[in-house]
Amino acid sequence: MSNTRIGVLSLAVAIALALTVQSAAAQPLTERERTLLEKVDTLEKRVADLERSQAAGQAVRSVKEDQSRVQLENRVSEIEEKIDQDASSAATDFRVFWKEGLRFESGDGNFKLRVGGRIQNDWAWYNQDDSLKWPVGDEQDGTEFRRARIYLQGDIYEDIFYKAQYDFASDNPTSFKDVYVGLKNVPHVGKLTLGHRKEPFGLEQLTSSKYITFMERSLADAFTPGRNVGAMISNDALDERITWALGVWKDVDDWPSSNDSDEDQGVAFTARLTGLPWYEDDGRKLLHLGVAYSHRNPDGANYRFRERPESHLANRYVNTDGFVGFRTRDGSVDGVDLWGFESALVYGPFSLQGEYMLADVDTEFAGNPDFDGYYLQASYFLTGENRRYKQSSAAFDRVKLNNNFSPGSGNWGAWEVALRYSSIDLNDGIIRGGEEDNWTAALNWYLNPNTRVMLNYILADVEHDLYEGDLDILQCRFQVDF
């Protein structure tokens, strides 16, 4: 009870006692006494009113507290219900978005799908020495769809990945390219891939045709195994500064297809090791070094090396299945050892890249001939971009532009100039496949990260035991990929 109430009651009690005593004496009330009695009545009423007011206030506060508690409980229930609904829909709903291609992804991240493809339309014009026409063929100007591919790629429950890529521009109605499944996060291994894909050999070969600097790969590409069916393990270390890959493969793409009468026939073991001793500024400055090795066991099957003059519409001018001497398909090839050495330097808009490849062939009819090839190329972005390097695959990736093509905004995309020298020697002993040296100049116009126009000029110098001469090639490509 408050001090005010105690004081009022004390005064009232004192007055009442005084009045009682006086009344007991049977004396009449004075005017002052009557006034005091009226004040007592007034005070008693005020005390009663105050008590009623406090009781009412307490009741109001109690009701408000109950209402607030109910509202809070209802809000918590609504939030919990919303969370349950979102969690339930996350497992089934896919979000669709664009990130350098069309992508689908489940809300919980367990399922990912990417749909992509590429279209490359090439045009070529040739000026050929007469000395090359009768033994090789008269080159004809022309056009073709170099590649027209579509693919599906994604993850299943995070640790399973897959890819299915088909090419509609090949001689077959549809041709398998990358078709494989794999496991991620395998203890002590990293990734395990099973299926049809490129063997881990060669920087230029492992860089997608969407991202290579020139329209075609160099003459040294004749020694890369390319795609075959096999099993490969791969991993990285030191924050992707080191990568390695090792696989066993079955030759299925060599001409002609391997004879399977021997269980070991056509089997190959291929490995690659790369390192980044220098990597700065998110890849604008880097030094890449790598080495690859492949032991192939044709075990008597047909085997050969050959290459076009860096133009897919042209004929092949160097070929171990040549016009004189012994042909590798006429004899037994017991083993082939391939070596590849690769390096690349990126310093802002400038880049330098080169590879050397060596093939040591073990034959029953021509001893152990060696063939080799190499290239060195340089490129420079006039608009300041740089070649992008993908550490996980130790190869070059899609270029990011400073400004996409937009004439209304005064932007014309990115421009790159490049120069390459490449050489191949397929002569050794009685095997006379020929020699060739190429100079290639290139101008690349990137309208945006997914669209590119390429212009190449090639001067090819061919020397063969039966012919020699020069070939001038002008070719261009219109490319869209996603």
The three-class DSSP label of residue 463 is strand
Using the predicted structure, report yes or no on whether residue 349 has a pLDDT greater than 90.
Answer: yes
What count of other Cβ atoms lies within 10 Å of the Cβ of residue 81? 10
Looking at the predicted structure, is the pLDDT value of residue 51 above 80?
Answer: no
CA dihedral 205, 210, 211, 212 (to 10 degrees): 50
Residue written as tokens 């990929």? 481
Cα(384)–Cα(399) distance, rounded to whole angstroms?
11
User: Range with the lowest mean pLDDT among 40-54, 172-186, 445-459?
Assistant: 40-54
For the chain, how many residues are written?
A: 482
Structure confidence at residue 377 as a pLDDT band (50, 70, 90): very high
CA 456 to chain centre: 28
Give the per-residue pLDDT at 330: 47
Burial bucket for residue 293 (CB in 10 Å: 0-12, 13-18, 19+): middle
Whether pLDDT at 163 is above 80:
yes
pLDDT higher than 70, residue 9: no
H or E element in which residue 345 lies: strand 333-347
Nearest to 197 by CA among 224, 172, 176: 176
Model confidence band, residue 67 (pLDDT cutoffs 50, 70, 90) = low
Q: Is the pLDDT of residue 238 over 90?
A: yes
Q: Which pLDDT value is given to residue 158?
A: 84
Q: Is the pLDDT of residue 257 over 50?
A: no
For every residue of 279-310, DSSP letters joined together read EEGGGTEEEEEEEEEEEEE-TT-----EE-SS
Amino acid at 149: R
* pLDDT tens-digit series, residues 386-412: 999 999 999 999 999 999 999 999 999
Average pLDDT of every residue of the chain: 86
pLDDT at 458 over 50: yes
DSSP state for residue 173 in the 8-state scheme: S
Whether the pLDDT of residue 1 is over 80: the answer is no
Phi, psi of 464 (to 5 degrees): -135, 160
Maximum CA pair distance of the chain? 160
Q: Contact at 8 Å (CB) between 482 and 100? A: yes
pLDDT band per the 50, 70, 90 thresholds, residue 176: confident
CA nearest neighbour of 226 among 137, 390, 338, 392: 338
More confident of the two residues 86 and 431? 431
- Supply the pLDDT for residue 468: 96
User: For residue range 116-139, what is the model confidence (pLDDT) as tens digits?
Assistant: 999 999 999 999 999 999 999 999
